[in-house]
Structures are given as C-alpha cells and as structure tokens.
Structure 1
Amino acid sequence: MSFADEDYPAVPYPGRRPPVSYVHDDATGWELTPGPAASSGWCAEGRDLDDWLAARGASPLRDRVPLLCYGSNACPSKLTWLRDALGLRGPAVLFRARCTDIAAVWACGPRVVDDQRPATLAALPGNTEHHAVWFATAEQVAVLDRCEGRGERYRLARVDTGEVRLADGTVVDGPLAYVAAAPRRMPLLVGENSENDGKPVRCLDVPQSGAAALTGTPASTDGLTVREITGTPEPADFPGRVFVYGTLQPGASDWWRLEPHAAGNPRAAVVRGTLYDTGLGYPALQPGDGPGVPGWVVDLAEPAVALSTLDEYEGAEYLRVRVASPGGEPCWTYVWNGPVGGLSKLTGAWGTADPSRR
C-alpha cells in the first residue's frame, strides 16, 4: 500500500500521521509490514526492507539509529518539507510504536516559524500513546538537529523512561528523542497555581486550535530519565548487546574474542529462525518462522568497539542485523549471508557452550 503527502497534511501542527509503519521518499509513503524471513525483519512492497533501501542507494537498518518522533516529524508532509527546506536526503524509515508511561504534551512557548504551539516529551505514568520511531541515518539526524534547534530549544538524548514497543513486538530500549533544553520547550503547566499544582496537557486531549490559547507556566522538569548525546549517535549502540549461538558462545572455541567486551553475565535466550550446520565447524542462522535458535545474550561494555571486532571475525559469510527475543529484547546477531540449500538443520543448540567456563 502506498500513499501521497496530500493524505497527511502538516497543518495544523503536528499534522496527520499514518496509522502504520512506513518508509517515505519522493513525497510518497509505502507501508512496512513485519517480515520474519527478511534479514531486516521488515518488508516494503513485498521485499526485504534492506533490499528495498539498497535499490535506492540508501543505508540498511543496521546503519541507522532509532529516534522517537512524537510531534510533526512523524507526518509525511513534514518529511517533504525537511527535504525541500533543509536538504533531507534518502528514504525515511518510520515504525509505528506503542509508548507507555510517556506522553507528547504541549510546550510552554510557540514555535519559531509560526504561532503554533509545539509538542514536548514528558513522563506520564500509566499513559499509553502511539507515536513513531524513525530509524535515521547520521545525515538525517544532522538535518533534524537543525530543525529542532539542538542545544538551544531541544537536547538530543536517550530516553530511559517508559517503554517503546514496535508493531512486531520489539522493544526499543533507550531510544533517542529531542527533549526540552529551554524553558519555552518545557511542558506547559495549566491550572490554578500552575507553578505548584498545574498539570501538563496531552496533545491528544487538546487540538492546536485550543493549545495556542492555553496559558500557564513552564514546568521545572519534564520528569524524564535521559542520557544526553554529544556528537553523532552511533548505530552500534542500539542495542548494546549481542546474541551468539555458535563459536562465540560462552565456553565455546572463540568465546575469548567476545569475553573481554562482555558486561555482566551472559543470559540464555532464543531468537526466531532456523539453525543449520555449515559443515565447516560453525553454524548458520537463517531468520524466519523456524523452531527457534537457542544461544546467549551478551551485554557489551563498548558496543561499537566489540561489534567492530566481531564484524571482522564473522567476515562476509555473515550479516549483522538486529533481532529480538520472544519477549521483545533487541539484540545484534549474525545471520548467514548465503544459501542454505543442502545444509542440514540443527534441532537444538550448537556445540557445548557452558557459561560457567567464563
């Protein structure tokens, strides 16, 4: 399914947004659907999303960072404005997400470009809303930095409050978001004695026509627990863990390569897919609706450093992708980058990994 910008106008702020995950380019959006057999985990126009992106000369999902969009950046017409006004390039990949314990609320001051009131993010226990997670390239983040006034109006930070869960069940832990950096972008507190007793107003509850007329005072805090980002965010940090199922498992022959990078104890886990015996002394994981592949989740002290080492070790035979355990915990892992015809399936775990031999 595809749609045009005209179906989702940007005015009034924050604009209309599709009720689905989508990829956007050339003033057109295409619906994204979960694809268990796709290396990216998603499909566009019936193809693996990574293949769809490659056909347009664009970066795959593994080279993008997850950015929570709770205002106009989830609106297709706004994306076209970013292209025309600020030079945004390449397809924008946005996944619909269920967000709990956080909310888009009206900010204290109006926008710079007009008199409309913008949204800001705030903690709100018990609340549930649907927003979007934009998996953005470094160049796209740089454009958004300019648009959002990074360092002046908003800060770019990882948000550790609440839960952000994609339509395929994957939890995006610590997603990036633009959070208030100045009083005029703090939540507006409305009501009598608003400095002490006022409440923020959810964007879902009051439209822009009513939000512009709200009066109150800026909150002293948005209530969020965040980790501010300096410089350009690193895709390898999202997530900061890896799922291993072969020679890199604890106790297996090449655990010594991964062990120095581990933070804490490995955890047993299973990811979706099928395991094959390559006959070369190491196994191959193929994503899909197979019996499941058992292995170990290893948290990484410095993900970018660790994954660089593992990328070199795995070589061209494997492709590093993001996957999730049945509970939705996201991990990096390495999937077989070749055909599996002629390879025998493994019905259980590979090798004799033993985490007690750390």
Structure 2
Amino acid sequence: MPPLPDSDFPADPYPGVVPDTSFAHVDRESHPLHPDPRHGWTVDGTPVDAWLADHGAVPCAQRVPLLAYGSNRCPSKITWLREALGMGDDPVVALRVRTRGVAAAWANGLRRRDGQRPAVLAAAPGVTEEHVVWLATAEQIAALDRCEGRDERFRLARLRTGEVRTVDGDVRITQPWCYVAHGAIRRPLHVDGAPVHCAALPQDAALTLVGEPGDDGLRAATVAGAPHPDEWPAALFVYGLLQPGGPSWSLVAPYCAGEPRRAGVHGAVYDTGSGYPALRRGAGGRAPGWLVPVRDPAALLPVLDEYEGSEYRRERVVTTGGTVCWAYVWAAPSDGLRPLPAGWPA
C-alpha cells in the first residue's frame, strides 16, 4: 500500500482527520503498519525496527507507549509539531488502539493559537473508543511537553484507569504514558454535572458549550522527568539459563514481582553449542519459556544486558497469549545453530 500524504488528513477543524490504520509518519507521509506475529509490525513487508534503522531512527525498544486521544493522532498535526516545535525528523510510530473505560472529552478552556476547544482524557465507565498509541522517542516526548504545556496545562502521567489494546492483534498496553489535565483550563468541561465526550459533539458545537471545570476521574500517577524506555513493560520472557531454577535465575529472582508462568513467543530456540540457547524471531513456530512479572525493570535490565552480552539484542515481544514483555533475541551470526537436544528446556 503506498504512503498516504498529509493532505489526506487535514488538522482543521480540531482534532483533525485520523488514518483508519496503524502508521509510521515521516516526511509528510503516513506509511501503513501491518501486524506480523514474527516481527511485531512491518512497513511494506519490512520489520518496523529495520525500517526505522533505514531512516536512522531508534528501534521500538528505545521508545515508550504514549496514548494520544486528541489532535496528536492527526498526521498533519505531527508535521506541525516538527516544523513549529522542532520535534525532529525521526518517524512517529502510531498504533491504532481501542480504549475501554476512558474517553476523550471537551476541555474547559480554548486553545490560544486558534480558539478551538481541545480534548482531555476522562474516565468513562462502559465506553469504548478508538485512539492511537505513539511509540515515542525522548525527543518526541520533549516536543509534546512543549506543545501540551507540561505541568501547566497538562501533566504527564501513567494511566491506570481503563484498558488499552491494539486493534490489530488485541495486545494489551498496560499503564501507557499520557497527558492528562493539570490546570483548570484543561480540566474536563462539565455540563449538567458530567463531561461531554468529543465523539458526541463536533468542534463547532463544542465551542458553544457552557459549564464548569470538573474532575477527570482518572487514576494516573504523575511522571517526574523524562520517561525511561526500560520502565515498560514490567515483564520478562526467559527461555534459557535465566529460567526459574536455572543456573542464572539468581539474577532475576530479586526483581520477581509475582509467580512466573509458562508462556511462549513466536519464534524458535536453538542450541548455540556453547551451553546456552538462542531465540530467533521470524523462524516460525512457538518458542517455549517462562513469563516473569518484574519490579523496577529499569534497574534489572542493565544487569541482564551485561550478562547477555553482544550476542543478544533486547527487544519487546508479544507472547502467544498477547502479553508484551522483554526478551533477549539472538543477534550474532546464525551459522552453527542447531536444534535443541531432547529434554530442553529443563
């Protein structure tokens, strides 16, 4: 499918027109993303990390999931962020998601630059909507901080209300980052005691609303400083010496935050001939192992990075049960890899 130009997705009236697919945005164009169980996402058949590398951009593992529910879903707005706020040229990776229990609602105040009424997130029991999750770089977050007036109009938080899942693949994105109301100007406008959902009223009608700023009803812990990509997700897939009871389990055990359980990821595990196995994605089949919930992944993962060394690359993968987790994937040459002996894993 050819890339889609920004002209297909005008930004006015707010919140603008949004693609009906996941996309990667660069150079005023949106490239449709397609789910692939072997690689996660692809652009024109190329795994998204390889496509990002071709553009000199950081991989998905160095980005954080950020829920966008207003104009930041619109490709033309993304170009504006680049040109007006210096966001840079790195591609924006935007995954189409379905939210439950939260909704975009009209904010109390108007935007200073064009007089339109913006959206803000609010709790909405029983409501299902479609939005977008950016896999955002540090530079992109910094530009959005400026756009959203972080700690004045909006605050950056980890969302604990409701549920967020990808439309393609039904993968749950737990506790995404998001911008929620901070100052009164961006609190939800309550009319007759309740917020007005953006889906129920267009921009021209929203401008005539009269009400009072109200509470958003969200559970969302404020984030200090810049988000760290290692903070998400808080789960680890292990399949070799790091398995529970294995010789290197002691590295993981102090960070274990719950009972490990059997799991699998798309791929295959091979014998390296050196006493430890190698996970290869894109090899077909289901690689068996354990899913371990962890606390403080930002402290654990550097320890494991050093332990695994240059032969492995840390990636976010999705279990066959739909859970996002970290895994160490074989990055060295595959020559000499062979099927695992009978009885593995122990």
- TM-score bin, normalised by smaller chain: over 0.9
Inter-CA distance 349–320: structure 2 relative to 1 (3 Å threshold): farther
Q: Equivalent residue for 1:214? A: 209
The residue type equivalent to 1:148 in the other structure is E
Helix, strand or coil at the partner of 2:273: coil
Per the TM alignment, residue 289 of structure 1 is displaced from its structure 2 partner at its CA by 7.1
**CA contact 1:293–1:348 (8 Å) conserved in 2:** no
**CA contact 1:97–1:164 (8 Å) conserved in 2:** yes
Would you say 1:30 and 2:31 are equivalent positions? Answer: yes
**CA contact 1:275–1:347 (8 Å) conserved in 2:** no
Partners of 1:101 and 1:270 in 2: CA distance: 29
Per the TM alignment, residue 324 of structure 1 is displaced from its structure 2 partner at its CA by 1.7
Q: Equivalent residue for 1:321? A: 315
Partners of 2:188 and 2:8 in 1: CA distance: 30
1:296 is aligned, of 282, 290, 300, to 290
Q: Equivalent residue for 2:158? A: 158
Partners of 2:147 and 2:282 in 1: CA distance: 39
Q: Deviations over 1:150-180 (max 9, x none)?
A: 0000010010111111122221100000000
Partners of 1:176 and 1:49 in 2: CA distance: 21
Partners of 1:57 and 1:242 in 2: CA distance: 28
**CA contact 1:283–1:350 (8 Å) conserved in 2:** no
Partners of 2:268 and 2:74 in 1: CA distance: 38
The residue type equivalent to 1:188 in the other structure is L
Give the number of equivalent residue pairs. 343
Per the TM alignment, residue 348 of structure 1 is displaced from its structure 2 partner at its CA by 8.1
Q: Among the aligned pairs, what percent are the same residue?
A: 52
Would you say 1:52 and 2:47 are equivalent positions? Answer: no
Per the TM alignment, residue 343 of structure 1 is displaced from its structure 2 partner at its CA by 3.0
The residue type equivalent to 1:14 in the other structure is P
Q: Deviations over 1:100-145 (max 9, x none)?
A: 1110011111112121100000111111111000011111100000
The residue type equivalent to 2:206 in the other structure is A
Partners of 2:134 and 2:342 in 1: CA distance: 36
Per the TM alignment, residue 342 of structure 1 is displaced from its structure 2 partner at its CA by 5.3
Q: Equivalent residue for 2:172? A: 171
Inter-CA distance 126–341: structure 2 relative to 1 (3 Å threshold): farther
Would you say 1:257 and 2:251 are equivalent positions? Answer: yes
**CA contact 1:252–1:351 (8 Å) conserved in 2:** no
Q: Equivalent residue for 2:17? A: 16
Q: Deviations over 1:202-250 (max 9, x none)?
A: 111111011111111111x211111110000010111012110100011
The residue type equivalent to 2:83 in the other structure is D
The residue type equivalent to 2:9 in the other structure is Y
Per the TM alignment, residue 5 of structure 1 is displaced from its structure 2 partner at its CA by 0.5
The residue type equivalent to 1:298 in the other structure is V
Inter-CA distance 254–95: structure 2 relative to 1 (3 Å threshold): same
1:199 is aligned, of 185, 194, 198, to 194
Partners of 1:184 and 1:269 in 2: CA distance: 46
Q: Equivalent residue for 1:66? A: 65
- Residues 209-288 of structure 1 correspond to what in structure 2 (within 5 A)? 209-219=204-214, 221-288=215-282
Partners of 2:16 and 2:229 in 1: CA distance: 28
Q: Which runs of 5+ in 1 are unaligned?
A: 353-358
TM-score by length of 2: 0.95
- Residues 82-93 of structure 1 correspond to what in structure 2 (within 5 A)? 82-89=81-88, 90-93=90-93
The residue type equivalent to 2:139 in the other structure is E
Q: Equivalent residue for 1:356? A: none
Per the TM alignment, residue 55 of structure 1 is displaced from its structure 2 partner at its CA by 1.2
Helix, strand or coil at the partner of 1:129: strand
Q: Equivalent residue for 2:79? A: 80
Helix, strand or coil at the partner of 1:204: helix
Partners of 2:328 and 2:178 in 1: CA distance: 28
What is the CA RMSD across the aligned residues, in angstroms?
A: 1.6
Would you say 1:344 and 2:343 are equivalent positions? Answer: no
**CA contact 1:243–1:295 (8 Å) conserved in 2:** yes
The residue type equivalent to 2:31 in the other structure is W
Partners of 1:71 and 1:279 in 2: CA distance: 52
Helix, strand or coil at the partner of 2:199: coil
Would you say 1:184 and 2:194 are equivalent positions? Answer: no
**CA contact 2:189–2:212 (8 Å) conserved in 1:** yes
Inter-CA distance 74–347: structure 2 relative to 1 (3 Å threshold): farther
The residue type equivalent to 1:179 in the other structure is V
Helix, strand or coil at the partner of 1:314: helix
- Residues 134-145 of structure 1 correspond to what in structure 2 (within 5 A)? 134-145=134-145
Partners of 2:342 and 2:329 in 1: CA distance: 17
